[in-house]
Amino acid sequence: MKDRWDAIILGGGPGGSTLAASLARLGRRALVLERERFPRFHIGESLLPHSREVFARLGLDEKLDARFLRKYGARFLCSSTGRARTYSFADAFDPKFEFAYQVPRDEFDLLLLRHAAELGAEVRESWEAVEVVFDGPRAIGVRARPVARSGDVAAGERTAAGDVVELRAPVIVDATGRDTLLASRMRRKAQVAELDKTALFAHYEGAAREEGVHEGNIQVVIFEHGWFWFIPFRGVVTSVGAVVSSSWIRSRGKGETLDELFDRTVAQSSWAREFLANARRVRPVGALADFSYRIDQLTGDGWLFVGDAGGFVDPLFSTGAHLAIKGADLAATAIHRALDAGDTSRAAFVGYEADVRYAVDLFLGVVQGFYRGHFRETLFEENQRPTMRKLITTILAGDVFHPERRPQWASFLQQHYPPELPAFA
């Protein structure tokens, strides 16, 4: 009996939605199971220009431009020295995409998920994947259940909350983000060196931002215990977060609330104090600890990971959503070709895994170089060489996927900033 779907995608975030939309555009039948009901809050609100290559292909660029603030570059500021340096995406080696978007994720993720449905993907919100079904080493389906009573499914599948049903497809994709459903059950997961950090985050009204074309720039404020992000949205709200060391978290006083800890963190930086001097916090402070990790294997027989489910790099360069979106685009091509060939074994997905690992590791090496100090100094070099400036800008723009031809600058980066990868015993 023929499977009803070509692929079942677990998770409806940017990776899952992009994959579903891309598969639907290729004429494939995709089912998305999303545990939550959108919209919902999420961090990771700054996109990168090269994601727009995927958005354009999916017919999303105009929708995004109508709703979200354009981001033309990134500004880095050092609290201890007062130095500041702006990088404009137009100065990258490939300046085809001169801007990205700053996006409240509740609105952005909902837009992507609805767009996937418009293109023909089947989307089930408030559906929880309980486990992936295997026949030997091969994934063949999913056991899932509706979190609440669901009437938005096909006839014959109407179920009550908690009732588990088995759904079959030749390809199962884990796009569950940090939940890493499949990895938690069958793969090995390890923390990444130098990246045992914690993020504290909130939203503010009235935070200082740049003017004119630079209004949408992300501002990265470096201070003794870590760094802040300032991500302005269209209107008056700004996302503000601090990525801090484990030692700073251990300094949290007994009974000190997250709001109080965040205020004390802001007080450590002259730039952060200035940007928030006339601002009002409109969302309580949240926290996410030890959030950088790597999975030992991204693909297998009948299954693969997309986005954060396969690993997460520190958010310094706003990589999370970008890696998910671009990775999902590659995954769609790999799945489409595998189905055409009638071979969904791991061998069909090795190219996808290699391309994603390559992109992730370019980012990872530079992020680790930042925390070790030498890349951080390169960002602020007084007499910075034009080629180095272009290289940094190119990384900030997200130009890290090179499935056909790998540029010379990438080899330079790999040589000077090789990633330190976790060992899997």
Q: Provide, rounded to the nearest whole percent, the portion of the chain with pLDDT above 70.
A: 95
pLDDT in tens, 283-333: 999 999 866 889 999 999 999 999 998 888 999 999 999 999 999 999 999
Whether residues 53 and 150 share a domain: the answer is yes
Task: Give the pLDDT confidence score for residue 157 in this predicted structure.
Answer: 52
Amino acid code (one letter) for 104: P
Per DSSP, helices labelled H in 246-373 are 246-250, 258-266, 270-275, 320-341, 350-372
In a domain, 398, yes or no: no
**Has residue 59 got a pLDDT over 90?**
yes
Check whether 22 has a pLDDT greater than 60: yes
Cβ contacts of residue 425 below 8 Å, gap of 6+? none
Which H/E stretch holds residue 220? strand 218-223
For 207-217, how does the pLDDT look when each residue is reduced to its tens digit (9 = 90+)? 999 999 999 99
H or E element that contains 202: strand 198-205
**How confident is the model at residue 361, as a pLDDT?**
96
- CATH number for the domain that contains residue 315: 3.50.50.60
pLDDT score, position 344: 98
Residues 6+ apart with CB under 8 A from 212: none
pLDDT class of 187 with cuts at 50, 70, 90: low
Question: Where a domain ends, among 233, 259, 289?
Answer: 289
Amino acid identity for residue 277 in this structure: A
Q: What does the pLDDT read at residue 257?
A: 97
pLDDT at 134 over 50: yes
pLDDT of the residue at 161: 62
Assess whether 211 and 352 both reside in one domain: no
Please, are residues 16 and 365 in contact by the beta-carbon 8 Å criterion?
no
Examine the domain organization and report whether 39 and 87 are in the same domain. Answer: no
* 252 Cα distance to chain centroid: 28
Residues 186 and 327 in one domain: yes
CA distance 357 to 359: 5
If DSSP codes are grouped into helix, strand and coil, which group holds residue 215? Answer: coil
State which of 245, 273, 289 marks the end of a domain.
289
Q: Any residues with CB less than 8 A from the CB of 336 and at least 6 apart, and which?
A: 23, 26, 28
Mean pLDDT within 360-367: 96
Given a cut of 50, whether residue 61 has pLDDT beyond it is yes
Q: Do residue 301 and residue 351 come from a single domain?
A: yes
User: What's the predicted TM-score (pTM) here?
Assistant: 0.95
Q: Which is more confidently placed, 146 or 159?
A: 146
Instruction: Give the pLDDT confidence score for residue 291 in this predicted structure.
Output: 66
Identify whether the C-beta of residue 295 lies closer than 8 Å to the C-beta of residue 184.
Answer: no
DSSP state of 233: P
Same domain, 125 and 229: no
270 shares a domain with 311: no
Q: pLDDT class for 188, splitting at 50, 70, 90?
A: confident
Together in a domain, 304 and 322: yes
The whole-chain average pLDDT of the chain stands at 93
DSSP result, 139-165 = EEEEEEEESS-B-SS-TT--B-TT--E
Task: Map tokens 């693969």 to a residue.
Answer: 304
Do 201 and 303 fall into the same domain?
A: no
When mean pLDDT is compared across 236-245, 309-318, 336-345, the lowest value belongs to 309-318
Please give the pLDDT value at position 179: 78
Domain total of the chain: 2
pLDDT of residue 90: 98
Nearest CA to 92 among 411, 407, 392, 323? 392
Statement to judge: residues 350 and 215 lie in one domain? no
Q: Looking at the domain assignment, is residue 177 inside a domain? A: yes
180: confidence class by pLDDT, cuts 50, 70, 90: confident
pLDDT for the residue numbered 423: 83
Plot region of 302 (φ>0 → left; ψ -120 to 50 → alpha; else → beta): left
Q: Are residues 94 and 111 in the same domain?
A: no
Query: How much is the pLDDT for 1?
Result: 45
Q: What is the pLDDT of residue 310?
A: 87
Asked whether the predicted pLDDT for residue 421 surpasses 80, the reply is yes
The model's confidence at residue 173, banded by pLDDT at 50, 70 and 90, is: very high
What does 60-125 look like in DSSP terms, one character per residue? Answer: -HHHHHHHSEEE-EEEEEETTT--EEEEEGGGSSSTT---EEE--HHHHHHHHHHHHHHTT-EEEE
**110-124, 137-151, 270-284: which has the minimum mean pLDDT?**
137-151
Contacts of 118 (CB under 8 A, 6+ apart): none
pLDDT at 404: 87
Q: 62-66, 188-192, 288-292, 314-318 — which is least confidently predicted?
A: 288-292
In tens, the pLDDT along 218-228 reads: 999 999 999 99
Which residues span the domain enclosing 202?
69-101+197-289
Rounded distance between C-alpha atoms, residue 38 and residue 35, angstroms: 9
* pLDDT above 50 for 45: yes
Residue with tokens 């130009």: 399
> Binning pLDDT at 50, 70 and 90, where does residue 411 land?
very high
